[in-house]
Structure formats: structure tokens, C-alpha cells
Amino acid sequence: MDPLKVTFLGPAASFSHQAAVETFGNSSELIPCLSFADAIASVQNQRAEYAIVPFENSTNGSVVQTLDLLVDRSGAYNDVVVCGEYYLAVHHCLLARKGLFPASQRDYSSITKLYTHPQAWGQCEEFLRKHFKGVERQDVSSTSKAGENVLRTTTEANAAIASRFAGEHYGLDILEENIEDTANNTTRFLVLRNAKSERTTQNGFESVKASSTQGQPLTVSKTKKTLTSFMVRQDAPGTLADALLIFKDFGMNLTSICTRPSQIQAWNYVFLVESETDQDKEVVMDIVKNLREVTENCRHLGTWANQLVSE
């Protein structure tokens, strides 16, 4: 049988690439994509079995690009659902071209520009405030792309914020390690599949993921998580409360609520509600049925095994 195809935000050596390697091991074909949208579209079109995308960071919060794709205002990804999650410990490094800053002369005053993904700035603010106040920050599509830019820029002293994984991949000097604000900085990734795919339906994610991964807890919770999106009327009081009470009535523990603009009407929002339960899948379907009676555009975005153990 052909290896599973797994898409991620590239280029190679991004944190998404690292998460894909740790989640699926070396037996799958890992395919870098230029954007989250490209990665998810490959699953929708069944050119790939899975996509792995960052959903939220413990320091910097939700990844809004992923939220917008899950909201799917245009209906482009109707068949894509969440089937798993992975927690990746994220440690950022300051990277530069080989030999640009000898170990005995670590003076960064000549650095004129820093590259990284927008999420990384907020995870390294203390380090940046201390060493790079006033230095130009250039957003790029991934931390790996930041490393690639630094490698290709030879006319000025630039640096990147990315992983050790990326530094080693591009042959860059690692000037500083663990520059993130919090030592337990973690990004949660969601694993996506096509609900109509026979291959991923017959052999679920739990049966194909790597049996041992360095970023995960040694034991996992027996509970499941589910993600639902919907809109509520805003011309009547209590409509959101009515929707959320359905989760309570069915014994679901709400773990997060995110909102994104509906783009249908100003100040009208899509709610993405994540909840947790130890009950069976039929309960989730009952909740969705009840939600559809009091909300608009309600969609069940997936149910999967909870990988986070409460302390």
C-alpha cells in the first residue's frame, strides 16, 4: 500500500514539519505546502490523507489563520474534519549565517532585520525587547522560511527566529537557544482528514500515528474533544446562552470558545466551541441536532481523543 500523504505548512524544517514527523513518523510521505489553505485543500480534494496545522499556542493564543479555515465561510472545505491533536514543545532559537557572529564576539548590534512567523514574535517578546529594540521585524510565512531567507541574504547582517530543527536543516549558526518567554511554550496542532476518505475511515488516525512521540505525555486522558461552529441571532436576548446551555445539559465540559467575524454582516460572529466528554459519539450528534434548532450554520467539525492530561 502506498504511504500516507500528510501535508503541512512548509518549507521543510518548520515547526509544522517537526510536528508532522513526530506525529506520523518516517513511514508517511510528508508534503510541504505554501499555506495552511493549500495544506487543507489537499485533504478536501483527497490528494492527501491528512493535514497537520497549528491551532493554538500556550503563550500567544489562537492561530487565526487556522480558525478562519475551520470557519470555512465559502464552503470550500465541507468534507474536512478534525481527527486528532498533537502537542509540540516549541523552543525558539536566534539563527544567523555561519561565521557571521563568532562565539567570542556575540554583539548583535549590527543586525538590521529579523525574520520569523507572526506567531513567534509574541512568544519571544522579552528577548526581543532586551536585545533588538527598534530593529526591523519582517513577517514570513513560517519560521522555516525565516531561516531560508537568512541563508540567502548575504548583503547584510540579518537573523531569524526559528527552531534548532530549522537551524540544523539550513546549516545556520545557533546564536541563542530557548529565547521564548516561557519554558513550557507549547503549540497544539490539529490533525485533519476528509470524512469521505475510505482509507482514513477504515484505518483511523489513532491506528496510523507514530506509536512513540517525544512531545506527548506518557499517558493520555480517556476523554474525547469535539469542535463545533455556529452563528446565533443577534436581534434577541439570550441566544448564545441558549446554545451553550445545550452543552451543559448533555454533560459536556466547555474548554474554549473562539470567535471570528462572519463576513456576512458587520459585528456578527461565528463561534467555535470546543468541549470535552467521556461519553460516546451519539451524545455529540444529539448536541449538534439540538444546536441546529437554536443556531444558524451549525457544523460538527470533528471528535477526537484528548491528548492532554490534567494535572
Q: Is the model's pLDDT at 277 over the cut of 90?
A: no
pLDDT of residue 211: 64
Q: Where does 93-176 sit in CATH, by number? A: 3.40.190.10
% of the chain at pLDDT higher than 90: 77
Predicted local distance difference test score (pLDDT) of residue 179: 96
Lowest mean pLDDT among 44-53, 102-111, 262-271: 102-111
Q: Which three cell numbers mark 227?
A: 469542535
| pLDDT tens-digit series, residues 190-229 | 999 999 999 999 888 988 888 654 445 444 567 899 999 9
89 CB-contact burial (10 Å; exposed 0-12 / middle 13-18 / buried 19+): middle
Coil, strand, or helix at residue 227?
strand
Give the residue carrying C-alpha cell 527552531.
163
Q: How confident is the model over 122-158, as pLDDT tens digits? A: 999 999 999 999 999 999 988 999 999 999 988 788 9
- Over residues 229-239, the mean pLDDT reads 91
Three-state DSSP at 66 gives helix
What size, in residues, is the chain?
Answer: 311
Residue 218 DSSP symbol: S
Read off the pTM.
0.87
Q: Where are the beta strands (DSSP E) in 117-223?
A: 136-139, 158-162, 173-176, 186-194
Q: Which three cell numbers stand for residue 304?
A: 477526537
Q: What are phi and psi of 36, to 5 degrees?
A: -60, -40
How does residue 240 score in pLDDT terms, banded at 50, 70 and 90?
very high
- Confidence check: pLDDT of 34 > 70: yes
Position 310 scores a pLDDT of 52
Separation CA 116–CA 14 (nearest Å): 11
**pLDDT at position 173 over 50:** yes
Q: What is the model's pLDDT at position 280?
A: 73
- For domain 222-311, give the CATH number: 3.30.70.260
Q: Quote the cell numbers at residue 65.
A: 489563520
Lowest-pLDDT range of 187-191, 212-216, 242-246, 283-287: 212-216
- pLDDT, tens digit (0-9, with 9 covering 90-100), for 68-115: 999 999 999 999 999 999 999 999 999 999 988 877 667 788 899 999
Same fold yes or no, 1-90+185-202 and 222-311: no
The Cα–Cα gap between 127 and 133 comes to 9
The amino acid sitting at 200 is: T
Of 55, 57, 48, 66, the residue nearest 5 (C-alpha): 48
Where are the chain's structural domains? Answer: 1-90+185-202, 93-176, 222-311
The reported pLDDT for the residue numbered 311 is 45
Mean pLDDT confidence for 55-69: 93
115 has which bridge partners?
Answer: 138, 160
What CATH code would you report for 1-90+185-202? 3.40.190.10
Mean per-residue pLDDT over the chain, rounded? 91
At residue 274, the pLDDT reads 97
Confidence tier at 257 by pLDDT (50, 70, 90)? very high
